[in-house]
Amino acid sequence: MASKKPENMSFEATIEELDQVVEQLENGDLTLDDALKKFERGIALARSGQSKLDEAEQRVSILLSNTDDAPLSEFNELPE
């Protein structure tokens, strides 16, 4: 089964898979090639998770900074 692209996964699924990747790498039972592939996947998952956190932080910041008389502003998603 092919892995989903990290950007198409929920934050929770991203973190869960990242935990699994870290555990597999820590076990040390992988060949060098498999370990490199897992490491690459882990980096992609970590970057995607950080992007999702940054986006959530931006949304919260916008919500907390707006007052009733504040002008509406457009939400801009962070580039990946």
pTM of the complete model: 0.73
Per-residue model confidence as pLDDT tens digits over 58-70: 988 888 876 666 6
pLDDT of residue 73: 67
pLDDT tens for residues 2-58?
578 988 899 999 999 999 999 999 998 999 999 999 999 999 999 999 999 999 999
Nearest to 21 by CA among 12, 30, 11: 30
Give the domain ranges of the chain: 12-59
Helix %, strand %, coil % of the chain (to 5): 70, 0, 30
Nearest to 77 by CA among 46, 52, 43: 52
Output the six-digit token pair for 67.
């007052």
